[in-house]
Structure formats: structure tokens, C-alpha cells
Amino acid sequence: MREKVKTIEKDEKFLRQTSKEVDFSKSEWKEALKELDEFCKEDDNIMAMAAIQLGIPLRLVYLKKTDLNRLEEDYNEQTVLINPIITKKEGLTRYWEACASCMNYTGLVERPYRIEIEYYDEHEKKHKDTWEGLKATVICHEMDHLDGILHMDKALKIVELDKEEIQELRKKEPYKIIEETGDFKKLIKKR
């Protein structure tokens, strides 16, 4: 199943494109969502996936694991974001991010602690939510994919590690909340 993932090694140009908005009048998004769902359910290590990573350049994100306290568990959150837009970013966090598309390159990335987001679900219903912590981090990572941006582009440091080494690194340097409030852009500039 892993061979479906587009990688920087073979498909960087593809991954660097901007994904198109989902047009609900066309059925292609339903097939894309089905493919995302099947892929994510088969791979326990995936926290989330953007459709572009499976070769589908649509603004579709599938969230699977975003609860920091349950990362070691086998569970499936199954939240779908269609045409997501972040309307506000607050606070600052730091986390060692990994990515199925970026091979074994793990990067220390700063992201907002809290985001306000608008999106549609798989029933075409519009939502406005505020999410914080790891969930905000994961969503920002996946939404970057929709715009052709990789976590390595934003990383303060990059290391090459396998899955076990990533877990050890995250134990030594866990998810860190630097600020819970304040304008994200201003906080990043201060650092």
C-alpha cells in the first residue's frame, strides 16, 4: 500500500503543485476520499494525509490521529476537510514532523498553537472550528501540502531518521508549546 504515496525522491515536481478546489458537482472527489480513507486505515503510522500525496491534486485532507495522548494507540479519528481555509493563527509550537512523502527526513517545525478553520465535510456541510495543539499542527502540515509546501521547507533543523529513531527523538524532544496566544506571524518573527 505504501507505494501509492508520492515522494520527493520520485515525484517532487508533482508534490510542489497547488491542489485544485473540490467541485461538489463532480464525483471525482468522492472516489478520492474513498482512496484516502482506505489508504489511511491500512497504515497505522499515518496521522493524516492530503490527497495530493496519493496523486490526487484536490483540496482534500484526511485526519486520522491528532490526539497527542493517544499517538501510540491504533485508532482512527476520521475527520475529512474539504476545501479547508485557515482564517486565524495564534500562539506558537515546535514539533519534530515526519511525512510519508518526505522519506525519512524529519524536521523541527514551528506551527501555530491554535487555528480557526473553515471547511466542508464529506456531506458537503460547511464547518467553522477552532482547534489547538497537535491537531492544529497536523492540519497546518497537511494544508501546506495542498499548496505544494513541504515541512522541510519550514524546518529549523532536518535530520534523516527511521520510524524508531523518530519515536525516540520525539520522546527526548516532545511536542512543545512555546506560546498559547499572540499573533503567529509576529511570534515567528521574534524568534
> What amino acid positions are annotated as catalytic residues?
142
From the centroid of its chain, how far is CA 78? Answer: 13
- Residue 161 to residue 152: CA distance in whole angstroms: 14
As given in the structure block, the three cell numbers for residue 159 are 535530520
Interacting residues of 56 by C-beta distance below 8 A, sequence separation 6+: 32, 35, 36
Segments in the chain forming alpha helices (H)? 8-15, 28-42, 134-146, 151-154, 163-172, 184-190
Vertex 105, ends 135 and 81: CA angle to 5°? 30
- Which residue in 103, 111, 164 sits closest to 140, CA to CA? 111
